[in-house]
Amino acid sequence: MSVVSETTLDAKVPSGPIEDKWEKHRFDMKLVAPNNKRKFDIVVVGTGLAGASAAATLAELGYNVTSLCIQDSPRRAHSIAAQGGINAAKNYPNDGDSVKRLFYDTVKGGDYRSREANVYRLAQVSGSIIDQCVAQGVPFAREYGGLLANRTFGGAQVSRTFYARGQTGQQLLLGAYGSLMRQVGHGKVKMFPRREMLDVVVVDGVARGVVARNLVTGEIESYAGHAVLLCTGGYGNAYYLSTNAKGCNVTAAWRAYKRGAYFANPCYTQIHPTCIPVSGDYQSKLTLMSESLRNDGRVWVPKDADDKRKPREIPEEDRDYYLERRYPAFGNMVPRDVASRAAKERCDAGYGVGSTGKSVYLDFKDAIARDGEDVIRQKYGNLFHMYQKITDEDPYHAPMRIYPAVHYTMGGLWVDYNLESTIPGMFVLGEANFSDHGANRLGASALMQGLADGYFVAPYTVGNHLASVKLPRVTTHHPAFQEAVVDARNHTEAMLKINGNRSVDSIHRELGHIMWDHCGMSRSDAGLREAIEKIRTLREEFWQNLKVLGAGETLNQNLEHAGRLADFLEFGELLAKDALEREESCGGHFREEYQTGENEARRDDENFCHVAAWQYNGEASEPTRHTEPLSFETVKLTQRSYK
């Protein structure tokens, strides 16, 4: 099962002090003159925060942009689901924040498995993101003096999270959407909704376009350009039950992987601690309660495992506020991986609450007594309303019940400092790449990364690519496009021809059980090996016994889901292999064999202080595991502690 590493990857990080790297690199990069930008066509796949901001900015600069949107409108991108806020080192509260502290918190929060230079750049441009969004009219909350309000998020001891009640992602997306549609109106962006990318087209070793399926007509279409930007989100739905929208998938990234893009750290999946617990087998997704709730909510379980009283009947002396007890310095605001494992440990030990015993309490009693119900309603009213609608429980008068669930994915396609993948000319932005969060993402950093990549990084690095490489004009009549169209059509027809007895949903649900049981909050050598074998068997079942209704050349959501599941079944095996090879615990990757005496993650910096990037070698061959060594020159490589 072991895979040999053949090469060491070059991240192309600029030399010099970390504070000066990005400024120096921006100056050293080649430029495209304003009157020449109109000569270049750029294909942007995805219209969430990363994709919408990148497409809008590139079009504003003068490039011709083709934008592919899997939804009927960019306003429906999953970025709207990010509720709690966006980080930035503005230090408005004057509580000790800085670019360096945001950088430090992010590196530490990722358990020292991220690339220092990328994280520092992210912290540097964070303030500009807020300025940009305010200029667009994003309605951030404000303090009494008029400054933008801030609150705390996990893994930080300062207040740096800007927010718009519990709708931050939606409001930020509307800002980017407005900028994008302005360019559509000017004719600089051609928008193609309801398109799903099925392949990336490589000509002479450079990405020159994509093949996509028109989800309304079923037609396979091609789009050519001088560069391709992949902004297609994460792969959390490999677990079937997750906080992601049902349309979120790994297909675009996986097809790019099969064309030569290395896939980095797929085992780094984030388990979010504040999710509404599973209610029954009928569920197809889970609902997230924003991490912002941990600012005022206190997490607890009964001290007595047999205490079945209603929560309001349990007095303070009989409650175990276990996060505050274990991590006094951070309390309820520890990072997500720490809070999730702690909740699992309490429930596994028999202290869980609710009918299933798979939940803990998130209680606002003290905050309401201190600040009043009106204040809490102003801060979190829409979140409380959503919780009550789903559970039929009033969180103003009884604590919420929460339990961890699959959320964000830190792994993704490998990119260098320019956000360029191992396929030259294909850039990967936002959650689709691996670069900024290491083994665990801090809350409120996803929106920050997506907008940083789209507004402030890719416009420079894509321009440098266009100015540095000779790119003769290529049309969709090129043989490489025709070959990719045939491959996509054959893949679709192969699924339609199976005509077995099992539904897509039943196989996906079974995959989800395998992934959650063996590749979820805790992993082990034996469990991962079992998962790999079970996934292989299930993949055979898929190709022998799948039932897809309908036809290919038409609207067919059953076929859409089958195509995504086929990729999840292949990707799930790679995730398990990556977890098996990484013989350490770090962040969201928790191997039971590698933990401290206090049940915390135990890293192995001597052998695993690197990025693992996997290269596809064909269906009949094992993938190759390459590495990118990680060096920590600015932040000291130490055991992470939030006590």
Q: Which pairing describes strands 64-69 and 41-45: parallel, antiparallel, or unpaired?
A: parallel
Residue 449: which residues within 8 A CB-CB, separation 6 or more? Answer: 50, 122, 430, 431, 436, 437
CB 352 within 8 A of CB 300: no
Please state, in angstroms and rounded to a whole number, the distance separating the CA atoms of residues 80 and 88.
19
CB 440 within 8 A of CB 110: yes
294 included as an active-site residue: no
389: helix, strand or coil: helix
Neighbours of 492 (CB within 10 A): 22
As a whole number of Å, the CA-based R_g of the chain is 24
CA distances for 561 relative to 24, 215, 487, 520, 548, angstroms? 45, 11, 18, 23, 9
Closest by CA position to 447, among listed 233, 198, 298 = 233
Closest by CA position to 585, among listed 633, 640, 624, 529 = 640
CA distances for 45 relative to 53, 82, 207, 441, angstroms? 12, 20, 13, 23
Closest by CA position to 592, among listed 518, 485, 541 = 518
- DSSP run (H or E) holding 269: strand 269-275
Which of 151, 336, 564, 625 is labelled catalytic? 336
Please state, in angstroms and rounded to a whole number, the distance separating the CA atoms of residues 267 and 112.
15
CB 511 within 8 A of CB 565: yes
Strands in 433-590 per DSSP E: none
CB 408 within 8 A of CB 441: yes
Tokens of 382: 């829409």
Q: Which residues are catalytic?
A: 336
